[in-house]
Amino acid sequence: MMTTVTTASRSWLLLIAATHCLATPRPNIVVLLADDLGIGDVGVFGNDTISTPNIDKLAKSGAMLTQHIAAAAVCTPSRAALLTGRYPVRSGMESHFKNKVFIILASSGGLPPNETTFAKILQQQGYATGFFGKWHLGLYCSSMGDPCHHPLNHGFDHFYGLPLTNLKDFGDSGDSVVTTYYPHCLHACYTLMAISASLSYLLLRRGRVVLASFVFTLFFVNPGLVVLFVKSIPTLDGVLMRNLDVVEQPLRLPGLTQRIVQEAEGFVRSAVADRKPFLLFVSFVHVHTALFTHPAFVGSSNHGRYGDNVEELDWGVGHILEVLEELGQTESSFVYFTSDNGGHIQEVGLDGQREGGYNGVYRGGKTMGGWEGGIRVPTVVSWPGRIPAGLRVDAATSQMDMLPTVLHLAGLEPPKDRTIDGTSLLPLLRNDTQSSPHELLFHYCGTNVHAVRYIPRDGSGVWKVHFHSSDESQCPYVCHCYGSYVLHHDPPLVFHLDTRSFREKSAVCEFRSAGPQGAGGGQGRSQGSRSVPRFAAAAAQLHQLPSGLPVVTAVLQLSTLFMQRRGTALCCDHSRSFQCLIRITGPTSYLGRSDIGGRRRTLADVGGIVLCFVFFEVLDFFDMTVIHISRLFHVFKHAGNRLDLLVSLVRFR
């Protein structure tokens, strides 16, 4: 009798569990990714001059993440981290070289096929998956017949969009990504071609056929090939694909946002008709240059082409939300809106009009390593009935958290065969906690750690240490990550991001106050302590900052976690000037190698890297040659006599 009752009870419990599972179907996942949108460009984040009603409405219906961090300050590595939940250096999606993203469609390399994206996992669990818009994570492995990095090989059933990215060359302004880096490139090429043509003609007249052929080939044909390449970029790289088929080449920018949104709408309607949960990933091309605007949005803002682009982007977000509402999917859809990195503050058009974003009060921007303006991105999340409306999440979070969050929503576990750097955000989004799921967040520029966030569990706020930072004087268009392009901070800069006066404006270590003296009074500085115990003892002597915040115990923990111990030293001045300096030498890549196995992929194979290096170095040489020649002409023109000429030439040298 007892056995029968027990069996019946178990059957009843299983029936209840099954009914519960059927009653709570897996939610749809909608990812809306902007391109180069600054945190200060969105109304809900403080902008009152550009209209973004749809993004603002999404935030009011859900949560606004005020400290959501991209894993990189530039497109390609940031997007790789978002999809995989891992630092991009783990999969070889960071670069050692100047160029940190793909700018040539035929480049070999991309997101490795053995990486696991949340799209791939959801696809295996029966989700309909579609990617629409900018991909920028590579296309080919070794040949055009091997598109191993294509979205269809990373978990998406449908793809419609740009396998590369939007480039200045695609616009109608005449601007080019090449001439942005090398502004005198084409002028140098045209000058060489004109001179070589004239010289070759004179040599032919004198019967020097071989020499004329050599001069013509070297100084006319080669620069001509450079010009041909620059002028062919819109055709070679401006490709729009549907799955594996090319549907536009060259790309037509006007109306592109509308075409992308229309394709996404068709995908959603098809998935709903098939009664399947879906992952919709819309990667908008706005507001990356070249800026383009549908006629309906021209002049709609007070901020020129850029403002018009932001408002067209907001329209696209609103249309997707309207489709969800029309199909009755709003309540069952988890919607995540973010940007791949901060606004590009150095972006200026040929007419002098600013074409980059606004990062609010935060310093820096796109490509600037660890500065907040490049990595703190506008982010809102909505899931009506599950995420409290109007929630504000101030805790430090990362775009890498999306993979575990999405899998958590679908009732799945993250992969166990690799390190996942993200953590589920559901406890924060449900308002079950206000604490960050992270203790450390590393901010890379290329393969080097530029800065580190530390969120101690004692609730003392968010600390940030900068070892390197972009030298903004060396960033006319983009910032590079190594050598003379960066500033090396010895001692490193320490900031407390929750204290207004220390938000990457003045470092905590440089703050001076008339606070209480520590042990030792004003006896000077204790130099050269390399042992962790002495370091800890010295740090413990510091009481509190003048603002009442706890001492930077983060410094000690950070030094033991990721710095090279051989270079650590402490200098503390316990006089009336509060000063604590830590010397760090050479914090290098924390995650320097791929842990998946197989060949480590960079953004191009070795041959491609060599060719690109030679190509751009030649352009640089031509560029500098034109500059020096023009300067010499100026010297000869303005020299009044031989003495003036001699002095001018010495100064020129």
DSSP string, 501-535: GGSSSS-GGG--------TTTT--B-----SHHHH
Does residue 422 lie in a domain region? yes
Q: What is the pLDDT of residue 621?
A: 56
Q: What is the pLDDT of residue 122?
A: 98
Does residue 529 lie in a domain region? yes
Indicate the residue among 391, 417, 438 that finishes a domain. 438
Q: Are residues 88 and 161 in the same domain?
A: yes
Q: Are residues 150 and 185 in the same domain?
A: no
Regarding predicted confidence, which is higher, 627 or 79? 79
Does residue 6 lie in a domain region? no
Going by pLDDT thresholds of 50, 70 and 90, the confidence category of residue 385 is very high
Indicate the residue among 438, 461, 486 that finishes a domain. 438
| Catalytic residue ranges | 75, 136
Q: Are residues 76 and 187 in the same domain?
A: no
Residue 191 CB burial class (10 angstroms; 0-12, 13-18, ≥19): middle
Asked which of 37-46, 190-199, 382-391 is least confident by mean pLDDT, the reply is 190-199
Q: Are residues 207 and 345 in the same domain?
A: no
DSSP string, 225-284: HHHHHHHHHHHHH--EEETTEEEESS---TTHHHHHHHHHHHHHHHHHHTT--EEEEEE-
Mean pLDDT of 97-125: 91
Q: What is the pLDDT of residue 564?
A: 33
pTM of the model: 0.76
What is the percentage of the chain residues whose pLDDT exceeds 70?
Answer: 73
Sheet with strand 448-454: strands edge to edge: 440-445, 448-454, 463-470, 486-496
Helix or strand holding residue 620 (H, E): helix 606-638
Q: Are residues 244 and 225 in the same domain?
A: no
- Which position has the token pair 């020649």? 629
The answer to whether the CB of 368 falls within 8 A of the CB of 72 is no
Does residue 47 lie in a domain region? no
Determine the 3-state secondary structure of 357 from DSSP.
Answer: coil
Q: Are residues 388 and 303 in the same domain?
A: yes
- Tabulate helix, strand, coil % of the chain (nearest 5): 40, 15, 45
**Domain of residue 69, CATH code:** 3.40.720.10
Indicate the residue among 419, 438, 457 that finishes a domain. 438
Q: Are residues 485 and 627 in the same domain?
A: no
Q: Are residues 108 and 216 in the same domain?
A: no
Give the number of domains in the chain: 4
Q: What is the pLDDT of residue 247?
A: 96
Whether omega for the bond prior to residue 113 falls within 30 degrees of 0, making it cis, is: no
**Domain of residue 508, CATH code:** 3.30.1120
Does residue 637 lie in a domain region? yes
Q: Is the pLDDT of residue 56 over 50?
A: yes
Determine the 3-state secondary structure of 440 from DSSP.
Answer: strand
The answer to whether the CB of 108 falls within 8 A of the CB of 605 is yes
pLDDT digits (tens, 9 = 90+) for 387-420: 999 999 999 999 999 999 999 999 999 999 999 9
Q: Is the pLDDT of residue 92 over 50?
A: yes
Helix or strand holding residue 393 (H, E): strand 391-393
Does residue 11 lie in a domain region? no
Question: Tokens standing for 150?
Answer: 């294509």
Asked which of 12-26, 229-243, 433-447, 456-470 is least confident by mean pLDDT, the reply is 12-26
Residues in a beta bridge with 466: 451, 493
Calculate the average pLDDT of the chain: 78
Q: What is the pLDDT of residue 226?
A: 87
Amino acid at site 310 = V
Q: Are residues 259 and 399 in the same domain?
A: yes
Does residue 36 lie in a domain region? no
Q: Are residues 62 and 156 in the same domain?
A: yes
Does residue 30 lie in a domain region? no
Q: Are residues 247 and 378 in the same domain?
A: yes
> 158 is in which domain, residue-wise?
57-167+238-438
What's CA 533's distance to the chain center, in Å? 38
Regarding predicted confidence, which is higher, 85 or 177? 85
Asked which of 17-31, 479-493, 582-596 is least confident by mean pLDDT, the reply is 582-596
Task: Give the integer Cα–Cα distance in Å for 407 and 492.
Answer: 38
Q: Are residues 131 and 210 in the same domain?
A: no
Determine the 3-state secondary structure of 141 from DSSP.
Answer: coil
